[in-house]
Amino acid sequence: MTAADDSRATGSWRGLPRRLRATVASTWRRSLQVRTVFITIGLSTLAILVIGLYISFSVASNLFQDQRSRVLEVSNNATTAAQLILDSSDAADRGSLQLLMKATLDTVTSIAGTNDVAIFRAPDQPASNNAPPDRLSPDLAGVISPALRAQVQEHSENQYWQSVALGSSSGGSDPGIVVGSGLQVPAGAGRYELYIGYNLAEAQRTLAFMQVTGTVGAIALIALLSAITLVVVRGVIEPIRTTASTSRRLAAGDLGVRIPERGEDELASLAASFNGMADSLQARIRELAELSVMQQRFVSDVSHELRTPLTTIRLAGDVLYGQREDFAGPTARTVELLHTQTERFERLLGDLLEISRYDAGSVKLATEPTNLVHLAGDVIEEMHGLARERGSELRLEAPGGHLDAEVDPRRVRRIVTNLLGNAIEHGEGRPIVIAVDSNASAIALSVRDYGLGMTTEAAERVFDRFWRADPSRVRTIGGTGLGLAISLEDAVAHGGHLDVWSHPGKGSVFRLTLPRSVGAGLEPADAAVVSPLPLEPGDPEAAGPPPTASVGAILPDDDREVHDA
Ligand code: ADP
């Protein structure tokens, strides 16, 4: 293929509509069956083409050589017979010489089996009145080349041949051979050149028939090979497909699926080992599930069991705490310590019970139309004192979210309280921005602090139970280490998600995204598309938000215009 052909071929591939090209490319990539069949067709076509061309050329060449040997033999016989007739003649005058020549040529045509005969008197002969005239049959006109004639004139005792195109009966031309030799005519007529033409159309037809038969056979063979490949490949691919779809179902949690085992071949052994693997996986998962249920039940039972003694301790502690001013210094401090630790214990127990409810799948949402901006305002108001203590300004930005969303307000409040508590805890006394916004399908709330922030590894583990970025850090607000784990469960129970962006020294953003109504769940993968608020802040470098006129909590303005989606 030339460079121009190449670029034309590439051009025509480019010219194909894009969708079609993509479909062909993806079918080629994804289907082993299509690839195998096409590669088999391609390679067998190439092999058949090479073998076919070789056979065709060697048959054509053998056929031609056979024909040529036959023609040379026949022509030699005819020339010898002609010379014998001439030699044995006693013709002496012009008339009898002409008759002799005619008889000789008749013998030649009958022995040679062809009417294409020419006879010329050699040009270097002395003039003779007796010499019979030249004869040329019409089919040989213009066919005998000067080169052939020169060879015959030079060595008249030899035979020479030449491939020629002879006129055919249909008006076209047929392949042929012209054989030239010399004849000695008596009575002073001198040397003559004899040319006999043989038409090889018959051999050509035999060859063409053979080629057509060969081509049809080759096409049938390729079709047959393709069909066989398709059947064989399907036989192998089908079990592979079954294995792939079974593993997909297994991965999706359908632990009972198995591959049918048939026969004793390699595919049957693949199915057997796959099924063996699935069996042990199922047994292991069942074991783990049972263990997990046991653990959950244990945590739940322990938490429940601890509740009663803790309530008693709490009541007793409250009594002591109420009278702490009556106690001496160290005793009063001990009573205070008992009080805070009992409170912490209660919170921890509450969180443990909550998480075990999630684990047991027994959580039911109590949804009602809730205004997230108002809810955020309430939480800000509640945490206002704490924030002020830590020197953090709380700021609410609510471009949207003023229309009610169908959520469980208790759980959403718990999430917001936890996020805000964490932001105050880790916010280093810098401002904290709470943003609320919504779109047609979702509502989102984000809490941005400009405090310590976290590394990427820490941010990835932040929703793990009891995980703390720095366990040695003194907790002032009294978190249990389960806050974000419960918040995430709360968000997921709504069909929403909770995401985090954080950078050491640049603070963190926690973003809660909930569907406007439970049931219209959000896929986590769609977070960036669905959430009305960006996760990554536009000001990651800033040590705080741009200043505003007011100081302290900026609470939502109830009179503001509603411009939700
Ligand atoms: P707790 O606050 O009770 O420790 P959480 O689940 O709420 O438990 O938080 C887990 C950990 O995540 C915290 O201990 C803290 O290390 C980290 N964390 C949470 N929020 C922030 C934040 N805004 N900035 C930095 N670290 C945070």
- Claim to verify: residue 418 and residue 491 sit in the same structural domain: yes
Tokens of 155: 């060595």
Question: Which of 172, 202, 232 corresponds to the end of one domain?
Answer: 202
How far is the centre of ligand 1, averaged over its atoms, from the C-alpha of 458 (Å)? 10
Shortest-distance Cα residue to atom 13 of ligand 1: 468
**373 and 326 together in one domain:** no
Distance, CA of 516 to chain centre? 37
Same domain, 126 and 20: no
Instruction: Output the residue whose Cα is nearest ligand 1's atom 8.
Output: 481
Distance in Å, CA 153 to ligand 1 centroid = 115
What is the token pair recorded at 50?
Answer: 């090479």
pLDDT, greater one: 125 or 14 = 125
- pLDDT for the residue 464: 93
* Closest protein CA for atom 1 of ligand 1: 481
Residue after which a domain boundary falls, among 152, 170, 202: 202
How many domains does the chain fold into? 4
Co-location of 386 and 494 in the same domain: yes
In a domain, 483, yes or no: yes
Residue of 420, 462, 487, 502 best suited for mutating to test ligand 1, as the one with most atoms within 8 Å of CB: 462
- Select the more confidently predicted residue: 520 or 551: 520
Looking at the structure, tell me whether residues 149 and 293 fall in a common domain.
Answer: no
437 vs 361, higher pLDDT:
437
Residue to probe by mutation, ligand 1, list 446, 468, 482, 489, most atoms within 8 Å of CB: 468
SS3 254: coil
pLDDT of residue 478: 63
Instruction: Indicate whether 377 and 488 sit together in one domain.
Output: yes
Radius of gyration for the alpha carbons in the chain, expressed in angstroms and rounded: 52
Q: Give percent above pLDDT 90 in the chain.
A: 30
Ligand 1 atom 20: residue of nearest CA: 422
Distance CA 102, CA 98 (A): 6
- The verdict on residue 222 lying in a domain is no
CB 506, CB 540: distance < 8 Å: yes
Report if residue 187 sits inside a domain: yes
Question: Would you place residue 562 in the very low, low, confident or very high pLDDT band (cuts 50, 70, 90)?
Answer: very low
Pocket test for ligand 1, best of 355, 415, 420, 422 (most atoms within 8 A of CB): 422
Average pLDDT of span 262-277 = 88
d(CA 44, CA 226): 9
Three-class secondary structure of residue 502 per DSSP = strand
Averaged confidence pLDDT in the chain: 84
349 & 368 share domain: no
Q: Tell me the one-letter amino acid at 46.
A: L
Residue 279 lies in a domain: yes
Strands 394-397, 432-438: pairing kind:
parallel
Would you state the pLDDT for residue 444? 94
What is the Å distance from ligand 1's center to 446 Cα?
Answer: 15
- Tell me the CA–centroid distance for residue 421 and ligand 1, in Å: 9
Same domain? For 117 and 155 the reply is yes
How confident is the model over 431-459, as pLDDT tens digits? 999 999 998 889 999 999 999 899 999 99
Q: Does 394 reside within a domain?
A: yes
Question: How far, in Å, are 163, 320, 385 from residue 421 at the CA level?
Answer: 105, 29, 12
My answer on whether 315 and 413 are in the same domain is no
Tell which atom from ligand 1 comes closest to the C-alpha of 507.
Answer: 24
Distance 511 CA to ligand 1 centre (A): 14
Domain membership of residue 384 as a residue range: 364-562
pLDDT at 475 over 70: no
Identify the CATH number of the domain in which residue 163 sits.
Answer: 3.30.450
CA 337 to ligand 1 center in whole angstroms: 24
Mean pLDDT of all residues in 451-476: 82
Percent of the chain scored above 70 by pLDDT?
89
pLDDT digits (tens, 9 = 90+) for 200-240: 888 888 888 988 999 999 899 888 988 888 888 888 888 88
Other beta carbons within 10 Å of 329: 7
Q: Give me ligand 1 centre to Cα 480, in Å.
A: 10
Q: Which of 436, 455, 456, 438 is nearest to 446 (CA)?
A: 436
Which residue in the block uniquely carries the two structure tokens 């002032």? 476
Residue among 95, 270, 280, 279 nearest 189 (CA): 95
CA of 468 to the centre of ligand 1 (A): 6
Structural domain contains residue 228: no
* Domain CATH code at residue 486: 3.30.565.10
CA of 154 to the centre of ligand 1 (A): 114
- Residue 111 or 139, more confident: 111
Do 338 and 403 belong to one domain?
Answer: no
Strands 497-503 and 507-515: antiparallel
Band (241; pLDDT cuts 50, 70, 90) = confident
Is a pLDDT exceeding 60 seen at residue 70? yes
> What pLDDT, on the 0 to 100 scale, is given for residue 543?
66
Would the pLDDT of 499 be above 90?
yes
pTM of the model: 0.55
Q: Report the C-alpha gap between 216 and 351 in whole angstroms.
A: 81
Read off the pLDDT band of 395 (50, 70, 90). Answer: very high
The mean per-residue pLDDT over the stretch 253-282 comes to 89
pLDDT at 75 over 60: yes
When mean pLDDT is compared across 228-237, 407-416, 423-432, 464-473, the lowest value belongs to 464-473
Mean pLDDT of 375-381: 95
Cα–Cα dist 476/412, whole Å: 23
Please give the residue that has the higher pLDDT: either 542 or 142.
142
pLDDT of residue 323: 87
Q: Is the pLDDT of residue 558 over 80?
A: no
Query: 502 pLDDT band (50/70/90 cuts)?
Result: very high
Site residues for ligand 1, CB cut-off 6 Å: 418, 422-423, 426, 449, 451-452, 454, 462, 467-470, 479-481, 483-485, 508
Would you say 93 and 188 are in contact if contact means Cβ atoms under 8 Å apart?
no
The pLDDT assigned to 315 comes to 92
Mean per-residue pLDDT, 298-311: 87
- Assess if residue 406 is contained within a domain: yes
Q: How confident is the model at residue 163 (pLDDT cuts 50, 70, 90)?
A: confident
Helix (H) or strand (E) holding 541: none
